[in-house]
Homo-oligomer: A and B are copies of this chain.
Amino acid sequence: MVWYGWMDFAPSLVHESEVPLYRQLYQQFAVKIRSGELPRGERLPATRELAGLLGLNRTTVSAAYEMLEAEGLIAGQVGRGSFVTGHSVAGCPLGPGGVDWNSLLERSDMPPPRHSGGAPSGLGGEVISFEMSRPSSALFPLDEFRASCAAVLARQDLAGILQLGSPAGFEPLRRYLMEEARRQHLAGPGDDLIVTNGCQQALDLIGRVMLRPGDTVAVEDPVYPGLKNLLAGIGAQLVGIPVGAEGLDIAQLERVLERERPRFLVVTSNFQNPTGATLPLAARREMLEAARAARVPVVENDAYGDLRYEGEPLPAIKQLDENGGTVLLRSFSKVSFPGLRVGWVVGPKPFIDRLRQAKEAADLHTDQLSQAVLLEFAESGRLEAHRARVLQAGAERLAATLEACRRYLPANARWTRPQGGMNVWVRLPEPLDAGELLPRAQKEGVAYLPGRYFAVSRLEPGALRLSFAGLTPDQIRSGLAVLGRIVSGEIESASGSFEPASAMV
């Protein structure tokens, strides 16, 4: 047990500190490595072992390790151990008396890096990747896209599109989206709309105008990493509301709103990332009532709402809210071309005014060429025609995923049954750890994101996300066959070699 030697510098962690535990742990390791006290080549304890030793959640240790890795201080692979690689970042020339970027940057509260999502390095051949929640490039209607571009290039006001624009968005697009929102009863008389670089920037701008470091935000647990990283970067404290098959746990939500008084609540109404869960109508009403009573604004993230494969569409939370306490986030990315960064926010006018100021400070305005092209794509009816094809392909891919889960995963595995979107959430039986199985899956050409990327306060070691929209039904079946084989093999050999979790504490 190599790691016993580490007890020499048992990190001293302050559990009530405003500095998150993962960051405290990261900082203490970083100091030891930079000082040379932990020399190059030294092996770090496995995350599970160190977590047990320190009485920490394992995600905390993993996050600290990922920050060290991002700094170039350690290197390693999940399940294979991590090693100290150096005590200063390579490639940063430091003349005498020059700027010390490392120490300057150490103060900043950046989150650990997100998984790159690309193909695993060092692997030959085709990888079946369930990692990315994005549409299939093969389905992109390139001719329709070209036709939309041609129409924009022929516009009389092309020069205006290429000129500096408005922080609120390209006005013809903004007007179109506002009319659509009114038609769908998503915008009331007191509402306004701003165009953003997709839902990610919408969330970022909301964080900028609403949050200060240390503020609390209520989010779904599990939740997609982009939101976690964004809020951690602002220095916000996240409190997770468990998401089950029926969406948010309302009783838990009420307790959190009452006790924590978060600055706002972010909730995904349809086909949540990563669980695929949709909030039922009754839960939407209860959630709204709880938020209204606590006077907590609701940020409704509905990036996936257009991708319903079965069942009746439900009214948006924004639509149900008669008290003006909800802002709605939507996007073209999931249903058309994610490489074009265009989303929007509908909400009370004074709030949108504030987002517009923040948007101007952030990047002046959203790219106007893409705004004009997507407007043409939508107004011409091409978007709706494409959506019909995407819905059919999505339904087939979802069905293939659920069928392959039934066929290849062990009987005591569990998974969600979404009615749309791009993601299925799988829970492998105990004591399996989806993060530990990942390197073996990658070796056999299959990749996914394990549960820890999505955990807020509850880590489910057996959980993993299958993002199916970018894969063909054949790829989905092949990938799940590999995964099922690895899982079954692991279960057979598991009982002997696994230490029970209680031994670690």
Contacts and interface: CB of A to CB of B under 8 A. Distances in A.
Interface string A77-119: 0000000000001111111011111101101111101100000
Interface in A356-378: 357-358, 360-370, 373
B140 A146 contact: no
How many copies of this chain?
A: 2
Contacts of A146: 153
A292 B100 CA distance: 10
Interface in A265-295: 291-293, 295
B200 A363 contact: yes
A1 interface: no
Given A101-B297, A101-B350, A324-B98, A137 B153 contact: no
Count chain B CB atoms within 10 A of each CB in A145, A160, A201, A360 and give the residue with the most. Answer: A360
B162 A98 contact: no
A71 interface: yes
Contacts of A7: none
A233 B325 contact: no
A210 interface: yes
A270 to B, nearest CB: 20
A157 B247 CA distance: 39
Contacts of A95: 292, 322-324
Nearest to A368: B339
A311 interface: no
Contacts of A439: none
A325 B163 CA distance: 34
Contact of A108 (B163, B210, B322, B348): B210
A369 B361 contact: no
A362 B200 contact: yes
Contacts of A323: 93-95, 97-99
B200 A97 contact: no
A313 interface: no
A349 interface: yes
Contacts of A324: 92-95, 98-99, 101
B230 A197 contact: no
Interface residues of A, number: 101
A444 interface: no
Interface string A208-219: 111111000000
Given A110-B209, A350-B101, A367-B341, A204 B295 contact: no
Contacts of A165: 339
Contacts of A478: none
Contacts of A322: 95
Contacts of A212: 107-109, 213
A460 interface: no
16 contacts: A95-B324, A97-B292, A97-B295, A98-B325, A99-B325, A104-B297, A108-B208, A140-B159, A163-B337, A165-B339, A196-B363, A201-B362, A204-B363, A226-B361, A340-B367, A340-B368
Interface of A: 70-72, 89-95, 97-102, 104-105, 107-111, 113-114, 132, 134, 137-138, 140, 142, 145-146, 149, 153, 158-165, 188-192, 196-198, 200-201, 204, 208-213, 226, 229-230, 233, 263, 291-293, 295-297, 322-325, 333, 337-341, 348-351, 353-354, 357-358, 360-370, 373
The 7 closest A-B pairs by CB, nearest first: A98-B323, A99-B325, A95-B323, A201-B363, A339-B368, A197-B363, A162-B337
